């Protein structure tokens, strides 16, 4: 098991690396029978320490957990607690995501550009054809999956939303975290046949 431990804006000493590595390995070895790889990143923002854990597991899934604290050790404790919760969810729901059908759908995943734009100066007049100022650019994977798979993938991460192609009809869908703790689902494209027949949106996740 390979666990990489790095720091952002802070040096990670041997004591912290040993503590964080043992903490995360203990959770993964307890619940996951296979060899997995992970990354622990510690950063400090003013008086707050933040630990991010990323673990790559079978089926192309990625488990994420963030924790904060007044010191480095309490932040990794918080992250470890959240990671253990997500590992348990992964264990109880993984069979569907690792099916041959799911693996076949992942072969047609696409990459999209992901931009961060500046809000700009509110005092400047807005032009109708003006584009926002782009301050960063990255890549975002848009997977081809069922709604159940998308909900699982979002639930195992720290992301606030996820865009995917619905395996039932190929249309773009969004799952997102609601303020009430549930996950919302936006279906932007019903099957053509359903539209022609005046059918309503599907009632179940798959």
Residues 84-133 have pLDDT tens digits of 988 888 877 765 555 566 556 665 566 777 777 777 665 555 566 667 78
pLDDT digits (tens, 9 = 90+) for 48-58: 999 999 998 87
Q: Which residues of 111-132 are buried (b: 16+ CB within 10 A; e: fewer)?
A: eeeeeeeeeeeeeeeeeeeeee
Say yes or no: 61 and 110 in one domain: no
Domain total in the chain: 2
Of 152, 190, 151, which Cα lies nearest the Cα of 174? 151
Give the whole-angstrom CA distance, residue 198 versus residue 144: 25
Name the residue range of residue 21's domain.
2-97
- Does residue 152 lie within any of the structural domains? yes
Last residue of a domain, one of 43, 64, 97: 97
- Does residue 12 lie within any of the structural domains? yes
pTM confidence score: 0.60
Stretch 2-29: mean pLDDT, rounded? 92
- Does residue 135 lie within any of the structural domains? no
Residue 148 is part of a domain; what is its CATH number? 3.30.505.50
Residue 83 is part of a domain; what is its CATH number? 3.30.160.100
Say yes or no: 88 and 168 in one domain: no
């Amino acid at each position: 098991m390979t666990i990489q431990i790095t720091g952002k804006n802070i040096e990670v000493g041997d004591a912290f690396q040993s503590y964080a590595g043992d903490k995360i390995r203990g959770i993964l070895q307890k619940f996951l029978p296979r060899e997995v790889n992970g990354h622990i990143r510690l950063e400090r923002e003013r008086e707050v320490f933040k630990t991010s854990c990323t673990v790559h597991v079978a089926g192309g899934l990625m488990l994420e957990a963030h924790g904060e604290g007044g010191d480095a050790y309490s932040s990794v404790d918080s992250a470890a607690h959240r990671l253990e919760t997500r590992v348990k969810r992964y264990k109880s729901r993984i069979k569907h995501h690792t099916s041959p059908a799911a693996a076949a759908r992942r072969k047609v995943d696409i990459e999209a550009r992901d931009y961060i734009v500046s809000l700009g100066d509110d005092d400047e007049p807005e032009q109708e054809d003006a584009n926002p100022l782009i301050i960063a650019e990255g890549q975002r994977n848009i997977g081809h999956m069922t709604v159940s798979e998308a909900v699982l993938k979002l639930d195992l991460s720290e992301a606030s939303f996820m865009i995917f192609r619905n395996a039932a009809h190929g249309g773009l869908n969004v799952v997102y975290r609601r303020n009430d703790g549930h996950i919302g689902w936006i279906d932007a494209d019903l099957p053509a046949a359903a539209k022609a027949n005046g059918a309503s949106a599907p009632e179940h996740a798959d």
